[in-house]
Amino acid sequence: MGNYHELEMRVVYAQTLNELIARNPDVFCLEADLGKADASIPVVSQRHPRNFINCGVQEANMIGVGAGLAREGKIPFCSTFTAFATRRCYDQITISVAYANNNVKIVGTSPGITQGPNGGTHMCFQDHAIMRAMPNMHIYSPADAIELRAVMYHMADSRQPTYMQLVRPKMPKLFEEGDPFDPHQAKRLHDGRDVTLVATGFMTSFALEVARQLEKENIAVDLLHYPSIKPFDARTLVDSARRTGAVVTVENQNILGGLGSAVCEVLSEHHPVRVKRLGVPDRFGEVADQDYLFNKHGFGPDHIARACRELSNSKS
């Protein structure tokens, strides 16, 4: 038991890996020369040196080594920045992991605008979209440290190729220890009948802030957090859309192909209502801070609130 939300998420990631390795020595931590950035150096490398493998700057090889380990019953967590964890080795993941059904866990760190000072070369807005288009791949995006731990325990216990986004800094506490993680179940964080707000990962705490703020304006937001983008809990979304009649989505990603697209796919087939997608409008990243990028692309708390007001009003 600990106050995990007081720790950086990357430290929680590394400490949780230690727990998972202690519990099951088949769990491995693989890095591609970003172990210090992920805190697995020294947290995992010192505690479990035999289960820690630094592949060097070899993302493609790391995925293949992970696939080979998985074929022998190991459970490798392969971590690097989102850009390199997905788009750089997309074919390796497609063939050696997903197509071959090798039980590899891929962890993309510093998603979207949280990449910050590394800028456009490293800032990846497409990982959810490209990973979602891959059969036999689960995609998780935990929103706080407690949920991160629940997701990692689930990953270690499931025999399922998986991609997880990992935000590295501290995140506000949203969940209680013991809250279950079920990839087939969205979580309702705020109950309302006026507008549905759908969020995941890094954006969920901002969305909750907005839902609470709009309560004061008598706008009741039905906030759904999706810790799993794939599989996607369609039923909770459709039920909510039936109640509210309008849906806003927000994601730390390109609005093409990710959470917003998943929402539109489900609603257009099962219960068409108006949807507003917030996120990065098909642009590359750049060196900039969070507020600058929120304002430039229009998906910060103010923009989320505005979209919720608009959609809520447009129904009446």
Partner 1 sequence: MGSQQLTREQLDSLAAEFRYVVTDAICRSGVGHIGGVMSLVEIVITLYYRIMKVKPEDPHWPERDRLVLSKGHAGPVVYTALAYKGFFPKDWLTTINKNGTRLPSHMDQILTPGVEITAGSLGQGLSCACGLALAAKHDSRKHRVFCIIGDGESDEGQIWEAGLFAGHNRLDNLIVICDYNKMQIDGRTDEIIDLEPLADKWRAFGWETFEMNGHDWDAIYDTIQKADAVSGRPSMIVTHTIKGKGNRETEGLVDCHNVKIPDETTYQRLMCGLECKFDLPY
Where on the chain is the footprint of partner 1 (CB under 8 A)?
50-51, 53, 55-56, 58, 60-61, 63-74, 76, 91-92, 94-96, 99-101
Task: List, in order, residues 6 or more apart from 267 with CB less than 8 Å away.
Answer: 237, 238, 241, 247, 273, 275
- Work out how close the CB of 249 gets to partner 1 at its nearest, in angstroms, rounded to a whole number: 34
- Work out how close the CB of 20 gets to partner 1 at its nearest, in angstroms, rounded to a whole number: 16
- Work out how close the CB of 108 gets to partner 1 at its nearest, in angstroms, rounded to a whole number: 19
- Work out how close the CB of 68 gets to partner 1 at its nearest, in angstroms, rounded to a whole number: 2
Per-residue CA distances from 256 to 32, 129, 173, 250, 281 (Å): 28, 7, 29, 12, 8
Per-residue CA distances from 135 to 89, 124, 130 (Å): 16, 21, 11
Q: Which is nearer to partner 1, 105 or 190 (CB)?
A: 105
Give me the helices (H) in the chain, please: 9-23, 35-38, 40-47, 59-71, 82, 90-92, 127-132, 145-157, 204-215, 234-244, 259-270, 290-297, 301-314
Q: Which two tokens stand for residue 294?
A: 């929120």
Q: Which two tokens stand for residue 253?
A: 């990603």
3-state secondary structure of 183: coil
- Work out how close the CB of 91 gets to partner 1 at its nearest, in angstroms, rounded to a whole number: 6
- Work out how close the CB of 35 gets to partner 1 at its nearest, in angstroms, rounded to a whole number: 15
Rg (CA), the chain: 19
Q: Which is nearer to partner 1, 134 or 167 (CB)?
A: 134
Q: Which is nearer to partner 1, 63 or 237 (CB)?
A: 63
Q: Which is nearer to partner 1, 101 or 213 (CB)?
A: 101
Q: Which is nearer to partner 1, 30 or 107 (CB)?
A: 30
Q: Which is nearer to partner 1, 96 or 240 (CB)?
A: 96
